[in-house]
Structures are given as structure tokens and as C-alpha cells.
Amino acid sequence: MDPFTVDKNWSHRSSKSFWGEIAPSEHVVHIYEDDKIFLDLLHGFVSGGFDAGDCVVVIASPQHLEAIAGKLRESGFNLPDLQARKIYIPLDAEKVLSKFMVNDWPDEDLFNLAITDIISWTKGVQGFRAFGEMVALLWAKGQVEATVRLEHLWNKFCAKQAFCLFCAYPQHGFQQDGTESLSHICKAHSKLIAGVRQSQTEVFYKAVENHTG
């Protein structure tokens, strides 16, 4: 499954429709060529959540948190107000990782505690969705098995809590042994978004065959 070649097998919808109507059980992955492509999609994910009345948690690097905050402000969102009302919850990915990594391995009990604690902040909000960059940070460190394990823990947690999770990886992380590692990551998700540059208002995607969620 090549995320960098879009052909007739890919479906496409408007970004507003795709992210606004995404099912609570979806685990979506995007493997991107550059930050602009990724940030456009993340903006659609977050703003789509706001429009749907969801609480949106963004667990990302400080650089990406700053970048997406800028894009959201440009779109007219009042982030201080959204954060005060627990509608928008930005979190540093390394700090969240530190809560459940034990000897470079995700501890399931600690992971469940950490994510349950985050979700508890959203009490009273009708819906919930999350973006997580922690897997990409582990992948960048070469911790392949830990990355796949964390994707598996997310799948188990999402199945119980019924919320949409969006993950993203930069393409350059798949340079060595790319085909096999790409297959492992894709199969941990239910939908794959094309990694090539596309219209900011459209999303090209396909369902993942042999999804192991």
C-alpha cells in the first residue's frame, strides 16, 4: 500500500466532510512528505472536531503545537477560550510519553492511566477525538517494536472508549526497509490518508486491508 501514489483505488471527500463525519472508532494514519501537508490535515482534523462539538486533544511536539495553534488562530478560533472550556487540549508528546514508558517500552497499565486521566478532563463534552504524535517520536528514535506496541495499545483503548484517533509519521522515517515497516504501521490503522500534496480542501484516503486493530 503506497501512500505516495494516488490512483483510482483511492477515495476522496472534502476535508470538512471527511473530518466532520469521521466515525468514533476510526484509527487514521497519515505518512507525509513535508510539514505543510501534515499541518493542513491536522488543521482539518481539529477544526472538524470543533465544528462537530467534540473536545480535541492534540498530543504533539512543541513545534507542531505552535504551528497548529497559529493556523487555528488564523482561522478565527479563540484558543484561550477553547482551552479554558477543555474543548482544545494541547499536550507535549514527550511529556505524555514519559508517563508510561518503562525501559523504552510502553507499559499498558501506565498508558491506560495516562490516557484515562486526559479523557477525564473532557467530562461533559459530547464527543472526543485525539491526535497523537508519540508513535512518530518513538519511530524516529528507531524504536520500531515499541512503536507498533503503542499503536496496538491505542487500538485497544479506542475500542473501549469509542473515539477517533489520528496519527502521522514523516516519510523520511521509512527510508530503510521501507516496505515492511510501512506495512506494519498501516495495518495498525483502519484508514490511510495519502501522503502526497493534495488540495487543502480534499482528503484522499483508503481503507486498510487486513487491519489488525
List the grid coordinates of 23.
Answer: 466515525
Please list the ranges in the chain whose pLDDT falls under 50: none
Measuring CA to CA, which residue among 59, 64, 61, 58 is closest to residue 36?
Answer: 64
pLDDT score for 179: 60
Give every CB contact of residue 163 below 8 A, 6+ residues apart in sequence.
24, 127, 128, 129, 130
Give the pLDDT score at 173. 66
8-state DSSP, 95: H
- The pLDDT value recorded for residue 5 is 72
Q: Which pLDDT score, from 0 to 100, does residue 21 have?
A: 86
Q: How far is residue 80's CA from residue 84's CA, in Å, rounded to a whole number?
A: 6
